[in-house]
Amino acid sequence: MKLQIKPDYETLCSAVADEVFAQLSCKPVSVLVFPTGNTPLGLFKVLVTAHIANRVDFGQAHFVMLDEYADLEASDHRSLSGWLRRELLDPIGIGQDRCHGFEWGMKAIEETIARLGGLDLVILGLGPNGHLGFNEPGSAFNSRARLIDLTPASIRSNSAYWGADDLVPRQGYTLGLGTIAKARSIILMVSGAGKASILRNCTAQKPHTSIPASCLQLLPQAKIYTDVAAVSNALSTQPDSQQSK
């Protein structure tokens, strides 16, 4: 696992966008996974701007959903695939035929990933409890796509998106940590002082299922891109520095 520290959120988003551009220029038919949440919104803006300016070609890429709430109508405004579609997939012109979600079941999404030749680049956000996707604390490092009960911590943090705890579904579907670990490249985006404590736990403590994102320490193809705010109290490192584990 490598750590890249950027001076601020904008630089962090540009650097992750450069990773996406590099991936697509070396393999236009890449299979990509993007998270939802607040952290990737700046990245999506950079990608959409580049698409409009013809600086990137998403024309052959496939997109696999990272996670989704269970038991929601596809048209429900809380649907995570709807969120990704509004913020990224529609603006960059990706049809349903190249977007793969959980609607056909857990076995089907794993089979789709295998049929597409595996995941090339998975971009992740970090939950306040260390979750990746909806892989909550206790998730096995070799877990596969499945239905999972959301923890109170995730329900609380997700309530910021929808206005109240009661509006957050209690279960979700997620790619498993084992599914993610097989990706050729993995990037975890972490921004802001509010993530400093959980980021420190993810990187400094021995990998353990109680902190799902700590599994990244075991993966040489994983990079954490963070801004200074998220490491201000976590690590004594300078902007643009790199650390390896």
Shortest separation between residue 52's beta carbon and ligand PGA, angstroms: 24
Q: Which residue has the tokens 């979600």?
A: 101
Decide: residue 160, CB within 10 A, 0-12 exposed, 13-18 middle, 19+ buried.
exposed
- 86 vs 240: CA distance, rounded Å: 32
Shortest separation between residue 28's beta carbon and ligand PGA, angstroms: 28
Helix (H, G, I), strand (E, B) or coil at 37: coil
Q: Which residue has the tokens 């801004």?
A: 227
Does residue 201 carry a catalytic annotation? no
Strand-by-strand arrangement of the 185-190 sheet: 99-100, 62-64, 31-33, 121-125, 185-190, 222-227, 2-6, 242-244
Kindly tell me which residue out of 42, 82, 125, 130 binds ligand PGA, with binding defined by CB under 6 A.
Answer: 125
Kindly tell me which residue out of 38, 49, 197, 210 binds ligand PGA, with binding defined by CB under 6 A.
Answer: 38
Kindly tell me which residue out of 42, 101, 127, 176 binds ligand PGA, with binding defined by CB under 6 A.
Answer: 127
Identify any residues that bridge with 187 across adjacent strands, giving them in sequence order: 123, 223
Does residue 67 carry a catalytic annotation? yes
- Is 172 a binding residue for ligand PGA by CB under 6 A? The answer is no
Binding mask 78-117 for ligand PGA (x = CB under 6 A): ----------------------------------------
Residue nearest to ligand PGA (CB): 37
Kindly tell me which residue out of 30, 135, 157, 226 binds ligand PGA, with binding defined by CB under 6 A.
Answer: 157
* CB contact at 8 A, 223 and 183: no
Active-site pick, 129, 135, 158, 227: 129
Does residue 100 carry a catalytic annotation? no
- 97 vs 79: CA distance, rounded Å: 18
Q: Choose one: 47-55, 125-133, 175-183, 220-228; the region binding ligand PGA (CB under 6 A).
A: 125-133
Shortest separation between residue 192's beta carbon and ligand PGA, angstroms: 8
Active-site pick, 51, 62, 67, 120: 67
Shortest separation between residue 126's beta carbon and ligand PGA, angstroms: 6
Q: How many CB atoms lie within 10 A of CB 19?
A: 17
Does residue 165 carry a catalytic annotation? no
Residue with smaller CB distance to ligand PGA, 174 or 185: 174
Identify any residues that bridge with 122 across adjacent strands, giving them in sequence order: 33, 186
> In terms of DSSP bridges, do strands 31-33 and 62-64 run parallel, antiparallel, or are they unpaired?
parallel
Tell me which residues are annotated as active site.
Answer: 67, 129, 131, 136
Site residues for ligand PGA per CB under 6 A: 37-39, 125-127, 157
